Structure 1
Amino acid sequence: MKDITVEELIGSNEFIPVDVRSPIEHKEASIPGSVNIPLFSDEERREIGILYKKSGEMAARWRAMEVVSPKLPDILGQFRNLAETGATPVVHCWRGGMRSKAVATFLEYSGCESIRLSGGYRAFREYILEEIPMLLPKKAVIIHGMTGTGKTDILHELQAKGYPVLDLEQMANHRGSLFGMIGTGDGYNQKTFDALLFKRLNEMKGAPYFIMEAESKRIGRAVQPDSMLDRKKDAIHLFVHSSIEKRVERIMAEYVIPYQGQGWFREEVLDKIRKIEKRLKNVPLAEELEQAVLGENYPEVIRILLIHYYDPRYTHALGEYEAKFIEIDGDHDSGAASLIEEHLPKAVRAGKAM
């Protein structure tokens, strides 16, 4: 049986992490790219945990053996199938304890290569939290713009061209607004966000700057690290402008058209609207919004929200920035991403640290 460190795992394309914890534990916090081959189902883990508290360690261990024994051929077969793809499986559990040791021992007895991650997932998390501030490039290029100006599309286009982009909304699985979870499912928790941020920063290692969208500290269920927020102080700021008509068109395409035929959509929009109405404190406008939703006049819903809710809030947030903005035409035929590319070399020279 051989143990490897987190650094060795991350530093090689040879290894594939295999999480032997229960599915719910893997969903809650996992190493990006890891495979879940659980020793116990969620229900079995719960049963053994209760037994441990009531009857002690030996009773729990015996029950664990009874549960796992019939599964061993299948579990070991899954490891063998992974190995046949050319990857080297590395077993881990929460902290490199009983579960990963048991699986590694079974692998060794069956004649398979047996490698374990020292310290388990906990060691991975401790490592990435230390590394994130050091991996983050010193200079930031921040893209601003009102809701619907296509900032995320710009990021995707720039990343496809090889620029060092951090798409924080993608890492949080949340679009950063009250409507941010429509069509995406649950937003990711902090552990998943941190793991994805580390993965992307590691891919960008050595870049003198990074490009990101202007985001509030909290994005859905996740919070940006302080080191990233600090980069805003002397960042290069670009502001994307776009007409109200174009913004409504973009939001319709992203938030409405893919989902409006589904039964849940109108009720979810209505629920979000009623939360916003409490902040608007404008009864006639609130009634107008509700009628537009009930009539499924979503372009009008979006227009009202942009003019009376999102734009005023965004304008207020811009007051936090003292830097001069480079203006970008978001409706330009050549595309905002191409216009930003024209400014990036100038921004690099002006930034000096880039």
Structure 2
Amino acid sequence: MFEDVYYKDVRKNKDVVFIDVRSPSEYEESTIPGAVNVPLFNDEERAEVGTTYKKVGREQAKELGLQIASRKLPDLISQIRKYADERKPVIFCWRGGMRSKSVATVADLMGIPCYRLIGGYRQYRSDVVERLGNYELKARLVTLHGMTGVGKTEILGLLHAAGEPVIDLEALAGHRGSTFGHLGMKPNNQRLFESLVVEELERLQNQPYIIMEAESKRIGRVNLPDFLLEKRNEGIHFMLHAPLHIRIERILKQYLVGTDDFHEKVSQSFRAIEKKLSPQNRSLAWQYIEERQYADFVGLLLVHYYDPRYKHSLQKYDVSFIQVDSTDLFACAKTIKEWIYENLFARPSFVK
């Protein structure tokens, strides 16, 4: 017989795999990070069962659900075997009810040892809210500042690859934070973002410091936890600088110029901010877009929109900045790492 477990009892177990048996749209909206979707019902079937429950009754809905599910059981079991491999499945639905119980029961009958998650995704979500609300961040935050295009994200990647404790909030949000920040990315909602933030913070909980990029309260569709913003102000702050032409090159590379729908998406996004520019610059920007002169378009926005806004936003920081040239990304990452080891740990630099 399958075993009922709480998320806290298995969340650090690397020998399990979470199986979300909710419908594809439920899974797409938010799930447990790392979970795979093996839906008992598709979206249309789920709606049909729900309508039957409301209009006819519980028993008739259960009967309809059984008819639909029975046809799928061989494929469901095959998928669970594939995803489980050498791991033990943790099966969950919305609240640990009939869907997860049915799948877990059949999996057990077919010789697949498994768990069922008590309370389902709803209880998991409550746990995330509680963990985030009571989280005590002990690590010191090292924050990278700089105008758009100086390479903050790239440097975070280099530091992460070098084994440094890094949290990339934009990657967790699925958004770069600007009007064009969704291009080439898939924005996450608040629930999934909070789940990912909690997992990352707990992964780094024993680190003496965490490196991150300076972000506003809101990134795309999500809001940062207040404690993270408050802790940031007490930390260490690096200000990165790079020439305008370097910044333009990095932005064009990062935002996937050349994709089929790039022109359309840039046009749509620009409409949201075009009135913030003078009539002359607005007209020139549209000319650059229509002529596909994206380098000139980016340069205009940096000089006349993003840079002024960034300089204004710096006024809220009552901190000292360590100035670093980020023209050479590798040299910049090395400088930051050396400063951290020399000043936080008072050790000679050993960075190669």
Q: Same fold (TM over 0.5)?
A: yes
**Residues 135 and 201, structure 1, Cα contact 8 Å, conserved in 2:** no
For the pair 1:310 / 2:306, whether they are aligned, the reply is: yes
The one-letter code matched in structure 1 to 2:140 is K
Residue of structure 2 in register with 1:206 after alignment: 206
Paired residues for 1:115-154 under 5 Å: 115-132=115-132, 134=135, 136-154=137-155
- The 3 A distance-change label for structure 1 pair 111 and 303 is closer
Specify the alignment match of 1:52 in structure 2: 53
Residues in 2 aligned to 1:74 and 1:66: alpha-carbon distance in whole angstroms: 15
> What is residue 249 of structure 1 aligned with on the other side?
249
The aligned counterpart of 2:265 is 268
Partner-residue secondary structure (3-state), 1:90: strand
Maintained 8 Å contact 2:100/2:116: yes
Contact 1:19/1:91 (<8 A) preserved: yes
TM-score (norm 2): 0.93
* Kept after mapping to 2: 8 A contact 1:82/1:88: no
The equivalences for 1:288-303 within 5 A come to 288-303=284-299
- The aligned amino acid for 2:314 is L
Partners of 1:334 and 1:175 lie apart in 2 by 22
In the aligned structure 2, how far is the partner of 1:269 from the partner of 1:194?
29
Partner SS for 2:142: strand
1:20 paired residue number: 21
Q: Which amino acid aligns with 1:125?
A: R
User: Which letter maps to 2:193?
Assistant: F
Deviations 1:200-235 (A, max 9, x none): 223223112211100111111111111111112211
Equivalent pairs: percent with the same residue?
42
One-letter code of the match for 1:178? Answer: T
CA RMSD of aligned residues (A): 1.7
Partner-residue secondary structure (3-state), 1:140: strand
The CA distance in 1 between the partners of 2:310 and 2:200, in whole Å, is: 28
Task: Give the aligned partner of residue 12 of structure 2.
Answer: 11
Which of 326, 337, 354 does residue 333 from structure 2 map onto? 337
Match of 2:79 in 1: 78
1:250-290 deviation digits (Å, cap 9, x = unpaired): 1122225342xx2x32222122222211122x111111111
Structure 1-normalised TM-score?
0.92
The AA in structure 2 aligned to 1:269 is V
2:24–2:39 Cα contact (<8 Å) kept: yes
What SS is found at the alignment partner of 2:202? Answer: helix
Residues 166-196 of structure 1: per-residue CA shift (max 9 Å, x gap): 1001001111111111122x41111111122
In the alignment, is the contact (CA less than 8 A) between 1:328 and 1:336 conserved in 2? yes
When residues 266 and 55 of structure 1 are mapped into structure 2, their CA distance, relative to the original with a 3 A threshold, is same
Tell me, in whole angstroms, the C-alpha distance in 2 between the residues paired with 1:64 and 1:116. 19
Structure 1 residues 195 and 334, CA gap change in structure 2 (3 angstroms): closer
Amino acid corresponding to residue 80 of structure 1 in structure 2: R
**Structure 2, unpaired ranges of 5+:** 347-352
Q: 2:169 — aligned with what?
A: 168
Deviates more, 1:269-278 or 1:219-228: 269-278
Aligned residues: 344
Q: Structure 2 CA distance, aligned partners of 1:89 and 1:256?
A: 37
Q: Which amino acid aligns with 1:44?
A: E
After TM superposition, what 4+ stretches of structure 1 lie above 6 angstroms from structure 2?
none
